[in-house]
Structure 1
Amino acid sequence: MELSQLRTLIHVADLGSLSKAADRIGIAQPALSRQIRMLEEELSVRLFTRHGRGMVLTEKGREILEHATRVMAELEEIRATASDLDTPLRGRIALGFPPTVADILSVPLVTAFGRTHPQVELRLVGAYTGHLIDWLHRGEIDVAILYDPLSARSLRTEPLLLEKLFLIGPTGSGLSGDRSIPFGDLDGKRVLLPSTRHGLRTIVEQCAIEAGIRLQIAVEADSYATLKDLVRHGHGWTILPLSPIHEDIAAGRLLAAPLIDPAPVRQLVLSYPADRPVSRLTRFAGDKIAEIVADQVERKIWPGQLLRSA
């Protein structure tokens, strides 16, 4: 078994295609096909199912991919340990974000890597917390920001931010950041919220129970862009963090006010798989994420309470 075969396995699994993997790493497709075939013969197992649209890992292939990813991460860690601390890092890293977080972190994070470690290959993955937890376990992503992962005991987590959620209304609704709205005032209003599979919905419904009201949910939409557009056109009110819509607030396209009695909040954490060591590259990513979040909080773009020093 050779390291080149493990690299090929990782790239083909990531892209689902031999031709795309060949383009990515600059090796002829027949050579990559031969490496996969030799690895399958050596392990006496079928790693991929081939079909007209590409290649999909078998169940045993997914298990072997997890081990291959760990081997390559350990190899990169050996190189990093032997190198000077000021030497630019190399390698590949996959980072996971909930949709609202991806919108605000992607550009500054890519900028930071480009400035400090330009040879690193970044993969940014946007998904809901449940999917991100699963991908962390599978080794498909290296680090993620998660919302309240109470059931993720197999993850190594670091508290990052206690994020405030705000009542969002259209222009002319009279909402103001200087005047708090009691949660009970939502009784009888048309409310637009994500579906029940979304963690934000759970937080809002718990607040409604504490306030002793029943929410009138007019529309369910898991897209934040859809929710804010519906509000902007006068179809109801929603409850969101300000970070993904701060430009709309600044431009006056939407209005926002803090909620009290109770005040809805949710905790963000940095999460790493607990079953493998955190590489220098992954740690740099986590630290840089914390710095960017702290900067956004200081600039009033991301209202909340920092739980981790940058």
Structure 2
Amino acid sequence: MELRQLKYFLTIAKLKSITKAAEALHISQPALSKMMKGLEEELGMTLLIRSNKTNELTDAGNIVSEYAQKIFSELENMTTTLDDLTNLKRGEVHIGLPPIIGSLFFPNIMADFHKLYPNIKINVTEYGAAKVVRSVEDGELDLGVAVLPIDGTMFHIYPIVEEKMKLLVHHEHRLANATKVHLKELKDEELIFYHESFALHDIMWKNFIKLGFEPKILFKSSQWDLMSEMVAANLGITILPESICNRVTNERIRIIDLVPVTPWNLAVITKKDKYLSYAGRTFVEFISEHSLSKFQYNLKL
């Protein structure tokens, strides 16, 4: 059975005449009659009552007409839905965000994106940056925000933020008045550190190991505000990205530059061999083209 047969059959049913239908369809009457005969033989039922004046539908013909209309209605819906996707009237994106990163930049980004594309649904999953990378690799997520560097052979990488890590100490700490502090000076300090699921954990751990010592970790947390408040309570020191430091307002905390400079660079990643929907591609382009400096500036206000 072909869609063309059903289309022609519906024309006959509407006009109640093979002759008139042939004229409307711009085909010969014998060709149309042969096509309808073939449809009847395939279904094993008579669909048309043939007479010299009109062609009425049999009971079977009425059923075929009803279902054929549903088929073409669904095809039209499919075409409309696909058109909606390509014109971004609808869609869905699954994105992975590390909690710290999500709270810093993405509320404003998603608000602006939603204004432009109100019918695109953004599903956000909060994972540590390391798990975000694994989840994009496994296909669980369409895209994610990761801390660089990552393997460029497997992912498309779209850089979005370039910052530095900074040291936070209590205002009575021995380093509170320093303008710069070398990481090796933190050998005997008690650190408020990140959970293992965070990319920052491995980045900073490796930096300390390169200097010949393991950091003394007092507490581990996934919440930057808790980490900074622990510093304010003089429970230890911590190292956080620049944007987070710009949000710290507690007067008992001093924020100091680190030597050597430890970059904190973020990027949107997608898997190279995975299909990305129109909505997903548009979201990536929106983030890449968006001036994140605007959001970073807002964090300082």
Q: What is the TM-score when the length of structure 1 is the normalising length?
A: 0.61
- For residues 113 and 99 of structure 1, the distance between their equivalents in structure 2, rounded to whole angstroms, comes to 20
Instruction: Please give the alpha-carbon distance, in whole angstroms, between the structure 1 residues aligned to 2:128 and 2:182.
Output: 29
Amino acid across the alignment from 2:132: L
Q: Is the 8 A contact 1:160 1:268 kept in 2?
A: yes
SS of 1:132's equivalent in the other structure is: helix
- Give the counterpart letter for 1:112 in structure 2: D
Rounded to whole Å, the distance in 1 between the matches of 2:106 and 2:81 is 25
1:293 matched residue in structure 2: 292
Quickly say closer, same or farther: Cα 1:294–1:118, change in 2 above 3 A.
same
Q: Which amino acid aligns with 1:116?
A: L
Note closer, same or farther for the CA distance 1:265–1:283 as it changes in structure 2 (3 Å cut): same
- Structure 1 residue 166: deviation in Å? 0.7
Q: 1:82 to 1:92 in 2, by over 3 A?
A: closer
Change (3 A) 1:216 1:113: same
1:279 has 2:266 as partner: no
1:55-110 CA-partner distances (Å, limit 9, x unpaired): xxxxxxxxxxxxxxxxxxxx999536864xxxx53111122111111001232122
CA contact (8 A) 2:97 2:126 kept: yes
Identity rate, percent: 16
Deviation, 1:157, is 1.7
* Equivalent position of 2:236 in the other structure: 236
1:123-165 residue CA offsets vs partner (Å, 9 max, x unmatched): 1221112322333234432221111363474322223333311
1:264 deviation in Å?
A: 1.8
The equivalences for 1:1-310 within 5 A come to: 79=83, 83=87, 89-148=89-148, 150-151=150-151, 153-173=153-173, 175=176, 179-249=179-249, 252=251, 254-260=253-259, 262-290=260-288, 291-297=290-296, 299=297, 301=299
Rounded to whole Å, the distance in 2 between the matches of 1:231 and 1:155 is 37
Q: Quick one: distance in 2 between partners of 1:81 and 1:96?
A: 22
Q: Deviations over 1:180-235 (max 9, x none)?
A: 21222212222111244432122222322344444322223333333222212110
Q: Distance in 1 between matches of 2:138 and 2:205?
A: 32
Match of 1:22 in 2: none
User: Which amino acid is the alignment partner of residue 278 of structure 1?
Assistant: L
Listed as ranges, the gaps of 5+ residues in structure 1 are 1-74, 303-310
| Distance of 1:195 and 1:295 partners within structure 2 | 29
Alpha-carbon distance in structure 2 between the residues aligned to 1:214 and 1:154? 31
> Is residue 77–residue 279 contact of structure 1 (8 Å, CA) maintained in 2?
no
Letter in 2 for 1:155: F
Q: Is the 8 A contact 1:77 1:280 kept in 2?
A: no
What is the alpha-carbon root mean square deviation over aligned residues? 3.1
Higher mean alpha-carbon deviation, 102-111 vs 135-144, is at 135-144
Structure 2 residue ranges without an equivalent (≥5): 1-78
SS, match of residue 246 in structure 2: helix
- DSSP 3-state at the match of 2:103: helix
Secondary structure at the aligned position of 1:263 is classed as coil
CA pair 160-95 structure 1, distance change in 2 beyond 3 A: same
TM value normalised by structure 2: 0.62
What is the rounded CA distance, in whole Å, between the counterparts of 1:82 and 1:150 in structure 2? 31
Pairs aligned (count): 221
- Higher Rg of the two aligned structures: 2
Amino acid at match of 2:294: D
